[in-house]
């Protein structure tokens, strides 16, 4: 079967959201050109921690892409921008609206180079409103979206240990989704498309359950710890945690039979298919689960087909047999050896059998800064700039 031409994506963005969007598209087969500053790159090349001597973000977000290095101060900037834009199916821009205009990366300017362009801009706080021109950095948007839980230590506020930002990542996911939807719409006769998402909006959306209950009922969504005795964590004899969820009638009856709680088997109100339990069941279930080990309960609950989940550490999850057969990691070769990074959870296959046995080939290594400049210039019809200094005096 003849392979279709890959989507052509030009990524003008920096740091995390835009590069994540283009990376997800690479994992689905796109040809991505990164337009980078000749010294700073996309802002991800110098980050800590290092893996095999390379920034973890550069390894995670840039494998399989190509890099052209040029400064906005270069006299050839506008020609190069027009050339790569004309080549592209879609471009990704990450900036405030006024900065995009200043750099000649706004929608109307790029549309002159490609009248059928899909243009994706990922902003910090949106295109309008009192926060639209705020400078954006990582955690800031989550903070203004009500997502940052604070620990106070001796009067000093600190981010809770283990907290991770949602907005910068979700904006990349939604950006990639928007690009794909816009390309379909354009190719069905919709003409050029303008795609926008903001990091702040996606961070706020991540809490959509709480958003919905706050704006309508003036209260937060449920706390998982308060859902009930039949949707709760319990400690095993070796002090490991199990999340046990026998909410449906059949599951509850099986659970009572397995744990010796026969006196509770017929207890429940099943009009809406699930019963979350009763407070006086907690001590009875706690005692029953405490009598066996984590491994024993994992085996027994699985065999009885009762909804449950062992509470694993991230290390246990990533190194599990399940993770290995589902190919959650994808490799790439770098000078320091082969490294593995988290793979996109979206995998395309030609049939279900192929999908059930995923085989992910290694991605090409992340490019050196500007390593593909001359090749890209020639490919987009700018042969006269091959070998030219595009640094604009950047240092």
How confident is the prediction along the chain (395 residues), in pLDDT tens digits per residue?
A: 577 899 999 999 999 999 999 999 999 999 999 999 999 999 999 999 999 999 999 999 999 999 999 999 999 999 999 999 999 999 999 988 889 999 999 999 999 999 999 999 999 999 999 999 899 888 999 999 999 999 999 999 999 999 999 999 999 999 999 999 999 999 999 999 999 999 999 999 999 999 999 999 999 999 999 999 999 999 999 999 999 999 999 999 999 999 999 999 999 999 999 999 999 999 999 999 999 999 999 999 999 999 999 999 999 999 999 999 999 999 999 999 999 999 999 988 888 988 888 788 999 999 999 999 999 999 999 999 999 999 987 77
| pLDDT for the residue 186 | 98
| pLDDT for the residue 394 | 75
Which of 2, 57, 58, 4 lies closest to 31 in space, CA to CA?
4
Q: What are the residues facing 337 on neighbouring strands?
A: 334
Distance CA 38, CA 41 (A): 6
Distance CA 220, CA 212 (A): 8
200's enclosing H/E stretch is: helix 199-206
Domains in the chain with CATH codes: 8-208+326-385 (3.40.50.10540), 224-316 (3.30.1540.10)
Which residue shows structure tokens 């050839």? Answer: 76
Strands 31-36 and 8-11: parallel
pTM given for the model: 0.94
């Amino acid at each position: 079967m003849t392979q279709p031409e890959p989507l052509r994506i030009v990524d003008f963005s920096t740091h995390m959201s835009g590069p994540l969007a283009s990376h997800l598209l690479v994992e689905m087969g796109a040809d991505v050109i990164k337009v980078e500053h000749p010294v700073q790159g996309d802002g991800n090349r110098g980050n800590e921690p290092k893996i095999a001597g390379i920034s973890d973000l550069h390894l995670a977000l840039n494998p399989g892409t190509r890099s052209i290095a040029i400064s906005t101060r270069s006299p050839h900037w506008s020609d190069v921008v027009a050339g790569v834009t004309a080549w592209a199916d879609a471009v990704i821009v990450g900036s405030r609206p006024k900065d995009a205009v200043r750099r000649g990366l706004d929608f109307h300017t790029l549309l002159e180079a490609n009248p059928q362009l899909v243009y994706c801009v990922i902003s910090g706080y949106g295109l309008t409103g009192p926060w639209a021109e705020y400078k954006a950095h990582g955690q800031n948007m989550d903070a203004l979206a009500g997502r940052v839980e604070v620990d106070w230590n001796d009067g000093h506020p600190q981010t809770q240990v283990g907290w991770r930002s949602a907005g910068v990542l979700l904006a990349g996911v939604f950006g990639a989704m928007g690009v794909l939807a816009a390309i379909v719409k354009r190719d069905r006769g919709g003409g050029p498309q303008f795609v926008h998402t903001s990091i702040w909006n996606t961070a706020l959306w991540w809490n959509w359950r709480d958003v919905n209950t706050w704006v309508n009922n003036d209260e937060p969504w449920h706390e998982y710890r308060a859902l009930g005795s039949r949707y709760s964590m319990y400690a095993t004899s070796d002090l490991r945690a199990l999340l046990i969820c026998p909410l449906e009638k059949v599951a509850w009856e099986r659970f009572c039979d397995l744990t010796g709680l026969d006196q509770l088997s017929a207890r429940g109100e099943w009009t809406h298919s699930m019963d979350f339990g009763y407070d006086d069941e907690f001590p009875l279930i706690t005692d029953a689960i405490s009598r066996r080990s984590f491994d024993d309960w994992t085996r027994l609950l699985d065999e009885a087909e009762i909804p449950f989940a062992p509470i694993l550490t991230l290390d246990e999850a990533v190194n599990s047999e399940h993770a290995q057969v589902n190919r959650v990691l994808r490799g790439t070769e770098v000078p320091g050896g082969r490294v593995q990074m988290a793979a996109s959870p979206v995998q395309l296959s030609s049939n279900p059998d192929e999908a059930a046995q995923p085989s992910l080939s290694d991605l090409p290594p992340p490019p050196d800064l500007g390593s593909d400049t001359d090749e890209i210039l020639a490919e987009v019809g700018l042969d006269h700039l091959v070998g030219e200094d595009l640094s604009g005096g950047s240092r």
